[in-house]
Amino acid sequence: MSTEKNISLKAYNTFGIDVRAKEFISVNTRSELKEIVSKSEDFFILSGGSNLLLTRDIDKLVIHLNLKGKEVLKENERSVYVKVQAGENWHEFVVWCLEHDFGGVENLSLIPGNVGTAPMQNIGAYGVELKDFMHELEALEIQSGKIVTFKNKDCQFGYRDSIFKNHAKGKYIITSVTYKLTKHNHKLNTSYGAIQSELERNGVKNPTIKDISKAVIAIRQSKLPDPREIGNSGSFFKNPVISKHQFRQLQHKHPKVPYYIVSETEVKVPAGWLVEQCGFKGRRWGDAGVHKKQALVLVNYGNATGLQIFELSQKIQKEVKERFQIDLEAEVNII
């Protein structure tokens, strides 16, 4: 373990923001992590950097989680429990599951980021969320230095939300996650319209988990920018939930507004639609912009600063509020 000083974090965040870390250390094992955490007064944990907007230099020690490894803990005829270390890349884990014919994760193909941060925001796409197949996770409790286990229900998962974004925030470092996956008897989720059309287009009648993954990858590639080419953090905002009453007024003015029913009293409206209606889609200010195919994704075309992206996000929030009286909440962690 060696510490580097004053290094750029550009390669460590998918937005590609060039801020500096005062000190930087990459940890490869849980014991290294425990040791460095016990010795450090103040630090910043960096994992896949895929849900992060860095608006300033990090004036402390940055601990880069690089814990690797996957192991099958137990299995029976129908299911398998796989324990994955936090620093494993999410999509590489999905590919590994497909190769082993383990089902559950296929709808979450191509999501940037690492396994350890996936539970924090309960990653989700195309009708599936991580909470649907996560069994438990282990985390280092910073104050006590102990490893604690969180069962699925302890994580208080919600839409892009968990206990780790709320009252457990900053108190734990997730070190590994155990998933319960299916063998042979996969429960396929093709409810999402775009998946159905993509399968039809490919002439697939009885899809396998690999077919679903292929369809999801094609859909994502058609509208979401690849962070290796254009810096971004996926959806920048959460889809807002509004009252049915407010939704009726909105629908009255805009009969074509897309929506998802949340409950008897609440409706979720796609933030991408709201942002597009305000005229932001495809616009660019210097190197900061709004993606041309999906208005929910803010992008860095090269040398935007975190502050420029942040200011753009505020401008969008202001316009959406003025036009629709709806508050957009950032999904990305802004530092």
What residues line the site for ligand EPU (CB under 6 A)?
125-126, 224, 234-235, 238-239, 258, 270, 272-273, 276, 281, 294-296, 331
From the candidates 160, 162, 213, 220, which is the catalytic residue?
160
Closest distance of CB 4 from ligand EPU, Å: 30
- What is the Cα–Cα distance from 213 to 94, expressed in whole angstroms? 9
Q: Which residue among 23, 88, 198, 331 is the active-site one?
A: 331
Helix (H) or strand (E) holding 196: helix 193-201
**∠ CA 298-294-190, rounded to 5°:** 125
What is the closest distance, in whole angstroms, from the C-beta atom of residue 330 to ligand EPU in the complex? 10
CB of 126 to ligand EPU, least distance (A): 4
DSSP class per residue in 84-107: EETTSBHHHHHHHHHHTTEES-GG
By beta-carbon proximity to ligand EPU, the closer residue of 83 and 306 is: 306
Q: How far is the CB of 109 from ligand EPU (least distance, A)?
A: 10
Q: Of residues 109, 176, 233, 235, which has the active-site annotation?
A: 235
What single letter denotes the amino acid at residue 206? N
What is the closest distance, in whole angstroms, from the C-beta atom of residue 260 to ligand EPU in the complex?
8
**Residue 331 falls in the annotated catalytic set:** yes
Residue showing tokens 């296929």: 106
Active site residue 222: no
Dig out the tokens for 22 from the structure.
Answer: 């005062």
Known catalytic residue: 235?
Answer: yes
Expressed in percent and rounded to 5, the helix, strand and coil fractions of the chain are 30, 30, 40
Min dist CB 228 to ligand EPU, Å, is 16
User: Of 83 and 227, which has the nearer Cβ to ligand EPU?
Assistant: 227
Rounded distance, CA 291 to CA 221, Å? Answer: 13
Facing residues of 63 across strands?
Answer: 25, 45
φ, ψ dihedrals at 230, nearest 5°: -130, 120
Residue type, position 268, single letter? K
What is residue 14's DSSP assignment? T
48 vs 270 by CB, closer to ligand EPU: 270
Tell me whether residue 131 or residue 238 sits nearer to ligand EPU (CB atom): 238
Instruction: Give the nearer residue to ligand EPU in terms of CB position, either 103 or 234.
Output: 234
d(CA 221, CA 241): 27
Strand order in the sheet with 241-243: 241-243, 266-268, 260-261
C-beta closer to ligand EPU: residue 248 or 293: 293
Q: At what angle do helices 90-99 and 209-223 cross, to 10 degrees?
A: 150
Residues serving a catalytic function are 160, 235, 331
